[in-house]
Amino acid sequence: MRIEVAHLARIEGHANLVVDAVSGELKECRLEIVESPRFFEGLLKGRHYSDVAPIIARICGVCSNSHTLVSLAATERALGIPISRQTRNLRRLLAYGEILQSHILQLYFMAVPDYLGVPSIFPLARSRRDLVSRALRLKKLANDICNVVGGRPVHPVTPCVGGFSALPQASALQGLRRQLVQALPDLEETVELFSSLPVPEFERETEYLSLGGGSDYPIFGDSIVSSDGICAPVAEYAATIEEYLVPHSTAKFARATRESYMVGPLARARNAFARLSPMARQVAAAMGLSASATNPYHSLLARLVEVIHCVEEAIHLIDAVLLAGLREEALRTPEGGGEGAAAIEAPRGTLFHAYGYDEKGCIETADCVIPTAQNLANIEADLRALVPSLLGLPEAELTRRLEMLVRAYDPCISCSTHLLKVEFV
């Protein structure tokens, strides 16, 4: 039996799934990444530090805020620019907004159709209008957070090196707080919906990697940690993670302690379960998600738990910002060049940027390590472990189950197609 799914549906970008089995034995299983290489690091050559974040954010329309925030952090580290507590809080709020944007999109628009037996969310606009309306309300809330803090829902314009070029109005933040509180009934119904969905049974333990995050649930952080004992500074990411090429992918694969590892919501939940908000931990317990989960389909549950966490933490963060009072801050002009690396927990996992600047503040070297690329080897390992147990199913059902597994990782293929680490001379 040979199954070829060209251009997997309901993922970002283009990928093919190929499974070949003979007499009940798996011969081949691969996830082909066929998106054209995009060489975004090359586009940065010679660009001034003030241009870097706006350019690199164009790598993706789904996680442009994460790319902006980590790019700014890497530049500030390279050029020795400190940032204020107000800037850190507003950037964290922007990161929460993007995680909500991406997770709501994946849960309702990408994953739910699999569990309700429809090809997409469009048939549900007639049969489950309440569900679709709820999804759109939550998505609008997430967009509004990014719009207020970043200046627009995608590709933010107000974050800049050293701080913000324009601050949100206090009245706008107060409005966001009211929206977040008003969203709680929609979140309760979302938890009820996903608690009722039958998550496929499949266990495969792997290495789970994320940022350390200090005392908070990881968003920003200076250390890399893993379930296999990795504890390394972010600055040493290149020595901690090995990227490598495979013939069937235009994206790099990655490994750390083992041949594959997982990043993303399930890895974060495993590594930092105790640092989830109180309400998020309650939801996790009610849905059967624990710090020892090894079912990759449970990424769906971890994603929803993070939605609850981000909403609760965003309310507290807005209170802290308003209590401290918003104030304009002068932006510092750096002198000289330097090198720096930074990382952020993007919706799909740990995202690294590293830059080298010359004395004029222009890019000499650039490197980006993308969450989806780090997950590709683990997705293939999951598929190889899962396929033998499904070979007795009808071909259509087997295909559906495999596609569901790939979608559980919420891959962002366009971001991941970085064949080359570019070092300019």
In terms of Cα–Cα distance, which of 332, 303, 417, 328 is closest to 369? 417
Question: How much is the pLDDT for 217?
Answer: 96
Residue with tokens 């549900």: 124
pLDDT tens by residue, 160-219: 999 999 999 999 999 999 999 999 999 999 999 999 999 999 999 999 999 996 889 999
- State the pLDDT confidence band at 314, using cuts at 50, 70 and 90: very high
For 291, counting Cβ atoms within 10 Å of its Cβ (0-12 exposed, 13-18 middle, 19+ buried), the class is middle
Q: Rounded to an integer, what distance in angstroms lies between the CA atom of residue 349 and that of residue 256?
A: 15
Q: Rounded to an integer, what distance in angstroms lies between the CA atom of residue 311 and that of residue 142?
A: 9
pLDDT for 419 beyond 50:
no
Q: Give the CA distances from residue 210 to residues 64, 73, 241, 381, in Å, rounded to whole numbers and listed in that order.
A: 20, 17, 12, 19
Question: How much is the pLDDT for 21?
Answer: 75
Average pLDDT of span 114-123? 92
| Beta bridge partners of residue 18, listed in sequence order | 4, 30
Q: What's the predicted TM-score (pTM) here? A: 0.93
Q: Rounded to an integer, what distance in angstroms lies between the CA atom of residue 272 and that of residue 350?
A: 14
Q: Rounded to an integer, what distance in angstroms lies between the CA atom of residue 224 and that of residue 109?
A: 31
In terms of Cα–Cα distance, which of 419, 327, 317 is closest to 92? 317
Give helix then strand counts, H and E, for the chain.
Answer: 16, 15
Edge-to-edge strand ranges of the sheet holding 223-226: 231-233, 223-226, 207-211, 261-262
- State the pLDDT confidence band at 14, using cuts at 50, 70 and 90: confident
Q: Rounded to an integer, what distance in angstroms lies between the CA atom of residue 56 and that of residue 68?
A: 7
For the chain, the average pLDDT equals 92
pLDDT tens by residue, 55-105: 999 888 889 999 999 999 999 999 999 999 999 999 999 999 999 999 999
Q: Give the CA distances from residue 300 to residues 134, 203, 286, 297, in Å, rounded to whole numbers and listed in that order.
A: 18, 14, 14, 6
- State the pLDDT confidence band at 323, using cuts at 50, 70 and 90: very high
| Beta bridge partners of residue 249, listed in sequence order | 33
pLDDT for 309 beyond 90:
yes
Which residues are CB-contacts of 394 (< 8 A; sequence separation ≥ 6)? none
Question: How much is the pLDDT for 344?
Answer: 97
